[in-house]
Each structure stands twice: as structure tokens, then as C-alpha cells.
Amino acid sequence: MESVTCRTSHVPPSPIAGARPRPDVQVSYTQIQSALTRALRGERLSFEDGVNLYHSPDLLELAAVANELNLRKNGRDVFFNVNRHINPTNICALSCKFCAFSRKPGEEGAYAYSEDEIAHRAKVAADSGATEVHMVGGLHPRWKLANYTNIIRTVKETAPQLHVKAFTAVELDWLARKERKTVAELLGELRAAGLGSLPGGGAEIFAPYIREKICDTKLTGEGWLDIHRTAHKMGLRSNCTMLYGHIEDVEARVDHMMHLRDLQEETRGFNVFIPLAYQPENNELGINRHTYGVDDLKTIAIARLMLDNFQHIKSYWVMTGDRVAQTALHYGANDLDGTVVEEKIANMAGSRAGMAMAKSKLLRVIRDADRIPVERSTVYEPIRRYDNPAEDMLQ
């Protein structure tokens, strides 16, 4: 098992200071220039480069390089998908400090969907042209493997064409331990039921000095990476995320990206990297601020520069709102996620972006950024390229 240690001996004096570059760190403009030049030459950047880039005083210069790297890889095409989130239960044995979604059994607001409720949502999704359901939930103390396979089968029996992207590494670890199975055995059974790929949730921040403060009882960073490695080796693709904008520092963010880059180098199994901006309400973390646009955009740009072996960087409108998500398309992002329809996790934590976005609006957001909308499958196969703007109104 790969050990997740932080790449620096630096331990921040006060992580609560947030992820703003620390004023005591001296970074020369020459070092930043050197990193940008090397990135444009296609060279791999180091941990120190990533930290230096976060200290760059020139956001537009970062944007120009990230945009250029993205245009080389993906041209002006921007992906979106027509999907639906289904959170089968919010009952959870853990109590991550940033989470506003989970409830304890019997607590007001706790729920667990029946098969009929899941089938209904899958049918509505399929009828509205969705190609994917994204399903993640809490760690239900009483659910067994059969609950999970039934959830997948219910979706596939209702609408066989839907791709099931389901269950975070955290849920898989919990279930494997309860069922006394290896993760490979568990994934084999879920795949036989119809699982298509894994979402990227549960990664949070790998660096132990942050993780232990925000979700100390959760699967470790190395455990998360190990489960994705196992999935990739079985031929299952997956996504990866990073929760930022809470108590972490820029060193922890860059460290996180480098662990993902290393695993991608080993397996090539990640579809996309998705930075998730922290939403501050109704949780126990005590950090009561949303991220601002500069930090969101800088993080997208640095991800594009650091993650040179990733084809896709997602600007997830749910966390940043549509305006910043759109602007990120000029900072290295080439994917906006989807229609979503019933987003609960960020919504309950104070997201101001709403629960859904119509396909017609996604088209407009992309088109207004002077990019070409391309509907994609979950694993990034193009479904339809919207070459003709006149057709957008018909969607």
C-alpha cells in the first residue's frame, strides 16, 4: 500500500488560516516564470512548483498558460452530461465535520429510499434523456451488500441504458469490511449487478494533518487511493475530487494533486479531476465562508498545470455557481458536469447554485464562453457535438 505522507515537512502554524498563500513565504517571480515556461514545454512540474504557482501574483498569466494547455489537449470543445444524482440514504455512521448531509438513524430528516423510490427517479431520468445516474450516500449501519446490488439492479432494470456511476471509495471500504470481502471481490459483485464506474467523492484532502481535523474516522488517503487503484486494475474507470477552501493550506492541495497524478501515471484509470469548493453551512467545522472566485479559478488553473496526465478537468457548477464555473473554461477546465437534477450534498451545506441545471442552460453557459458544447457519456465518449448554435434553442 502506498504511504500517503505529505511531501513537505512544513506543518502550518495555523491551518485555520485557510488556503491563502502565507505572507511569510518568499517566492521569486523567476521561479514562477520558470514553472510556467516548463509547463508550456510539456515538462512535469514539481511539488515546489505547484506551491509557488499558488503564490503567483498574476492570475491572468496562470490562466493564459492553463488555457493554452487545455486548448492543446481538448480544443474549444467543452463537455457536459445529462445526468441525475440519486442519494439513496443520508443515514451515516460517520460524522465528517464538513458534512451537512448526513443524519443519524432516527434523527429528524433521516431517510433511506425504497426500491420504488429509486426506480421512480431512474425512470424520470431516463425519460428526460439522461445517460447516467450518480449515486452516493451515507454509510448506513444496517445496509448489506444486497442493499447495494439491489439499488444498482433497480436502476438497470428500470432503464438499462443508464450508466451507473456509484459509491465512493469510503462506502466501498465500509461495505467490504462489513462483508469481510476484499475490495476486488466487492467490486466484482457490484459490477455483475451493473456498476459502470466510480465517482470521485470521499477523497477530501489526503494530507493526514488536515484529514484528521476534518474527518478523522474516515478512510485514510492511502486507503482511498488503494481502492481506486484496485478498481482501475479491474478495468473500472473512476473520477477523483479534492475538497478545498476549508482549513487546508496550499501545500496540502498540491500534495493531494500529486498523489492523484502518481496514481494516474500508474493506472491511467481516472477520467477527470474535480475540485470541490467547500460549502460552509449547517456543519460542525466552524469555517463560515464560501470560497471566492480567484481561489476557485486559481485552483482550476493549477490543477491543469500540475495534472499533466489528466485529459479532463471539471468545473463543477454546483459548488462555484454558474458564473465562476463558466469563467473556469478559460482557466483550463473543459467539463461542466451535468444537469444533476437533485443535488443534496452541497445544497444542504449552503450552495447557492441550485439543485439542477437545464440542458438548454448548460448549452448557453458553454456557448457564451465561446466554446463548443459536446454532450458526453460518463467515460467521456462524445455523444453529440453542438456545432450549430441555432439548434441550442430546440433543446
Contact residues toward ligand SF4 (CB under 6 A) are 92, 94-96, 99, 101-102, 138-139, 170, 215
- Applying CB under 6 A, which part among 68-76, 172-180, 273-281, 382-390 lies near ligand V47? 273-281
SS (H, E, C) the chain: CCCCCCCCCCCCCCHHHCCCCCCCCCCCHHHHHHHHHHHHCCCCCCHHHHHHHHCCCCHHHHHHHHHHHHHHHHCCEEEEECEEEECCECECCCCCCCCCCCECCCCCCCCECCHHHHHHHHHHHHHCCCCEEEECCCCCCCCCHHHHHHHHHHHHHHCCCCEEEECCHHHHHHHHHHHCCCHHHHHHHHHHHCEEEECCCCCCCCCHHHHHHHCCCCCCHHHHHHHHHHHHHCCCCEEEEEEECCCCCHHHHHHHHHHHHHHHHHHCCEEEEEEEECCCCCCCCCCCCCCCHHHHHHHHHHHHHHCCCCCEEECCHHHHCHHHHHHHHHCCCCEEEECCCCCCHHHHCCCCCCCCCCHHHHHHHHHHCCCEEEEECCCCCEEEECCCHHHHHHC
Q: Is 275 in the site for ligand V47 (CB under 6 A)?
A: no
- Applying CB under 6 A, which part among 30-38, 52-60, 95-103, 219-227 lies near ligand V47? 95-103
- The residue from 148, 224, 316, 386 that contacts ligand V47 (CB under 6 A) is 316
Q: Is 241 in the site for ligand V47 (CB under 6 A)?
A: yes
Q: Is 62 in the site for ligand V47 (CB under 6 A)?
A: no
Of 49 and 343, CB closest to ligand SF4: 343
- The residue from 264, 283, 327, 347 that contacts ligand V47 (CB under 6 A) is 283
Of 52 and 137, CB closest to ligand V47: 137
Of 49 and 171, CB closest to ligand V47: 171
Q: Is 317 in the site for ligand V47 (CB under 6 A)?
A: no
49 binds, among ligand V47, ligand SF4, none (CB under 5 to 8 A by kind): none
Q: Is 199 in the site for ligand V47 (CB under 6 A)?
A: yes
Write out the residues near ligand V47 by the rule CB under 6 A: 98-100, 136, 168, 199-202, 204, 239, 241, 243, 274, 276, 278-279, 283, 316, 319, 337, 345-346, 349
